[in-house]
Amino acid sequence: MCIDLSVEVAKCKGARYRLGPELEICGYGCSDHYFESDTLLHSFQALAKLLESPVTQGIICDVGMPVMHRNVRYNCRVIFLNKKILLIRPKMALANTGNYREMRWFTPWNRSRQVEDYFLPRMIQEITNQESVPFGDAVLATLDTCIGSEICEELWTPNSPHIEMGIDGVEIFTNSSASHHVLRKAHMRVDLVNSAMTKNGGIYILANQKGCDGDRLYYDGCAMICMNGATVAQGLQFSLDDVEVLVATLDLEDVRSYRAEISSRNLAASKVIPYCRIKVNFALSLSDDISTPTSEPIQWRYHSPEEEISLGPACWLWDYLRRSKQGGFLLPLSGGVDSSATACIVYSMCLHVCSAVWNGNQGVLSDVRKIVNDEAYAPKDPREFCRRILTTCYMASENSSQDTYDRAKSLAEEIG
């Protein structure tokens, strides 16, 4: 399971809190399968395996899954530590515009700062020895800091939860997202996170889905960590890695001193309605961390619009190809712009795949070998790989000419 692997990598890098993307246990793109009880059941079965796994011990794990509470289905974060569930935090603002249809499957949690008892399924009770756990809008109070959760759309709303949480003393904000690729959308994500922490101070951690989740959308990663308005860690936007783990070492005193200088924030804090705090006997810092160097601010590296147009659809094609277990693509070329652009995207995919293999990505190499049905194959040249997986033919019409035929033939030869 990719979740297990990400936790293992995070622990190896010294992390004490692991955050994953939205609805990562079942996958964001389940659509009407969310209506099926089996989706909820299998999500809890996967959660049970994670709770029992030796890998998840000694680190706070924050995973996403659907949960039904009092016969209402919620999009939730389940936060656990050492076989104990600390909090189930339901999503409060659902995405329901454009390509999003969350209101069809889920209900938002509208009870701000309120917590109820959630009675666990017996399979989970047997592992955690807990009959019930907190369910609702609460924050975690560890031995050294306070952590609050946002889920995807909540960052984009006018009255985001991080505003009131930050005024109430929450120092670390987590955001688990399923934000799909749109041209230049990365700029908006980064600006939203950095501006939020510039105004209020704090550390913001964002994890986003990656790849094709079984539908028409491509989720482009771009995980990030920000402190006091400055980015300190940036994830890749068009990576073919199944698992990418981003870590940063930060000093909480930098957050406290930054906030102490914002008098307007401190005045607001004196009259804020407090959040319910779930006490956690665990610290994100260690006694010997004082000698550990902290992460420095970095300049975010954006792709050009042309690169996004080339890489986004190419990554979607690759995920669709490997998950469908097909042997390649058939594309009729007419010599026109539509079919030519599609052929170029396939070739861009081949370039991206070959680059990943050359950089030692064994997962991509394994997928390549399955697609070409050759266990010894390793792509040496993108044109040769394109020749193996893309078959073209000339599709003439009454509007075709010798020029369109020549253009189709020339393009086919150039890409392999």
**If you write DSSP's letter for every residue of 240-271 in order, what string do you get?**
--S---------HHHHHHHHHT-HHHHHHHTT
d(CA 277, CA 171): 13
C-alpha neighbours within 13 Å on the C-beta side of residue 43: 27
Q: Which helix (H) or strand (E) holds 276?
A: strand 276-279
DSSP state of 344: H
Q: How many CB atoms lie within 10 A of CB 123?
A: 13
Residues with Cβ < 8 Å from 205, sequence gap 6 or more?
17, 19, 172, 173, 174, 175, 224, 225
d(CA 69, CA 116): 10
187 phi, psi to nearest 5 deg: -60, -45
Write out the catalytic residue numbers: 22, 91, 152, 334
Residues with Cβ < 8 Å from 372, sequence gap 6 or more?
327, 388, 389
- 115 near 276, Cβ under 8 Å? yes
